[in-house]
Amino acid sequence: MSAQIERIERLYREGTLPQEEMSLLIEQRDAASTEHLFALARTRQQEHFGKAVYLRGLIEFSNVCRNDCLYCGLRRSNRACSRYRLTPEQILESCRVGYAHGLRTFVLQGGEDAGFGEEPIARLIEAIKSRYPDCAITLSAGEWPRAVYARWRDAGADRYLLRHETADPALYARLHPAELTLEHRVRCLWDLKGLGFQVGAGMMIQPPGQTLQNLVTDLCFLQELQPQMIGIGPFIPQKDTPLRGERAGSLELTLFMLAVLRLLFPKVLLPATTALGTIDPIGREKGVLAGANVIMPNLSPEDVRAKYTLYDGKNVTGIEAFKTQLADRLAKIGYEIGMGRGDAPGYAPKFMQDDGKGQRTPPES
Ligand code: SAH
Ligand code: SF4
């Protein structure tokens, strides 16, 4: 057995590797052993989730942002970005459409928009929850004080996505202006966890300056945090940012890291992200075959989708086209759409139980 296959087998068996072995595993990856890694990642994925890929409806509620992350097209210094903020009515309409298509998780994502802050978001969560009590709400709205997160949790938000982006402080500093720190971002993640959110973290793959060692640091950080969701995707340059001339992250390394994550975190919710679908037309299917189990169709109103320009070339297929195509595309690779809330195992709401078909029904007693 090659040393690489041995490492993969050990990671599969033990669910972890010593750091030096993890570095070697990533450094020495090759096509043949990677196929084996993907097969073992699928075994773990199917043990916990069967052949179901959960859907979440993504609603990009605002592209206004007070931050200036170097990689992102929504950064405040980008004058070329045409700004919008959805009204609560528009957002509720998106939820209605998503619900009619069977979606039971709504992901509200946006820039850090002070004009759509604590109160408006809290009221929005309450409105969605009162109309759709059987749905989960995921927020992805950046860094806020603990008290604000607490208000949103009380209002009914279930989950929060806040990628740590990179766990290496020096790389973090290269990709962000000085006022944004890794330390603060990590503190937000622990606050969110402490408040009982199902938490999602994650890193970009190959932003400028990232080393393979940085990725090992990311894995160590994730092992410490133990998030319920991990979102990773390739860095993709955006033409109106300072990183416009840089190379995009590779499909191959992103898929490799997805499979490693599946073996390190067998039960984690792992999306095949929009960025993956952007660098390769069948990137998301490839992601599922490497261990991912979540896909997020876009529910934003059609006229704003093109304005949410995190990066260039973003795949903005709406739910209508997406769902019909997706069922076929997943069937081709032997998977199916899993409806229902799709909570992390062990995180189903206490008053509901799973009937095993992805639909949640009240208990009999
Ligand atoms: N403002 C919130 C949520 C919106 S940004 C936040 O920052 O958390 C959502 C994610 O998009 C970020 O976490 C980042 O990982 C990703 N992103 C931004 N610009 C990107 C780029 N150029 N390439 C790839 N991913 C990018
Ligand atoms: Fe704003 Fe998020 Fe983009 Fe940073 S990554 S500029 S916080 S939208």
Q: What's the gap in Å between 161 CA and the centre of ligand 2?
A: 13
Residue nearest to atom 6 of ligand 1 (CA): 142
What's the confidence (pLDDT) of residue 206? 98
What's the confidence (pLDDT) of residue 355? 42
Above pLDDT 90, what percent of the chain? 88
What's the confidence (pLDDT) of residue 349? 62
Q: What's the gap in Å between 22 CA and the centre of ligand 2?
A: 30
Which atom of ligand 1 sits closest to the CA of residue 204? 15
Catalogue all structural domains in the chain, each as residue range(s) with its CATH number: 51-343 (3.20.20.70)
Please choose, from the candidates 86, 133, 85, the residue with its C-alpha nearest in 3D space to the C-alpha of residue 106.
Answer: 133
Nearest ligand to the CA of 235 is 1
What's the confidence (pLDDT) of residue 316? 72
Residue nearest to atom 4 of ligand 2 (CA): 69
pLDDT (mean) for 324-352: 84
What's the confidence (pLDDT) of residue 186? 98
What's the confidence (pLDDT) of residue 348? 64
**pLDDT exceeds 60 at position 327:** yes
pLDDT digits (tens, 9 = 90+) for 56-99: 999 999 999 999 999 999 999 999 999 999 999 999 999 999 99
Residue 74, ligand 2, Cβ within 6 A: yes
* pTM of the shown model: 0.95
Distance CA 235, CA 215 (A): 13
Residue 311, ligand 1, Cβ within 6 A: yes
Q: Could you give phi then psi for residue 138, rounded to 5 degrees?
A: -110, 130
pLDDT digits (tens, 9 = 90+) for 195-239: 999 999 999 999 999 999 999 999 999 999 999 999 999 999 999
What's the confidence (pLDDT) of residue 323? 76
Cβ-based burial of 58 (10 A; exposed 0-12, middle 13-18, buried ≥19): buried
**pLDDT exceeds 50 at position 353:** no
**pLDDT exceeds 50 at position 24:** yes
Distance CA 100, CA 215 (A): 40
Residue 107, ligand 1, Cβ within 6 A: no
Angstrom CA distances, 48 to 154, 182, 244, 293, 352, stand at 30, 32, 40, 10, 19
Please choose, from the candidates 362, 336, 335, 306, the residue with its C-alpha nearest in 3D space to the C-alpha of residue 80.
Answer: 306
**pLDDT exceeds 50 at position 127:** yes
**Structure token digits, residue 24:** 């070697």
Q: What mean pLDDT is reported for the chain?
A: 94
Q: Which of 77, 116, 163 to mutate to test the pocket of ligand 1 (most atoms within 8 A of CB)?
A: 163
Distance CA 132, CA 98 (A): 11
Q: What amino acid is encoded at 352 in this protein?
A: M
What's the confidence (pLDDT) of residue 34? 98
First to last CA, the chain: 54
DSSP for 301-321 reads -HHHHTT--SSTT----BHHH
The partner residues of 230 in beta bridges, in order of sequence, read 201
| Antiparallel, parallel or unpaired: β 136-140 and 159-161 | parallel
Residue 61, ligand 1, Cβ within 6 A: no
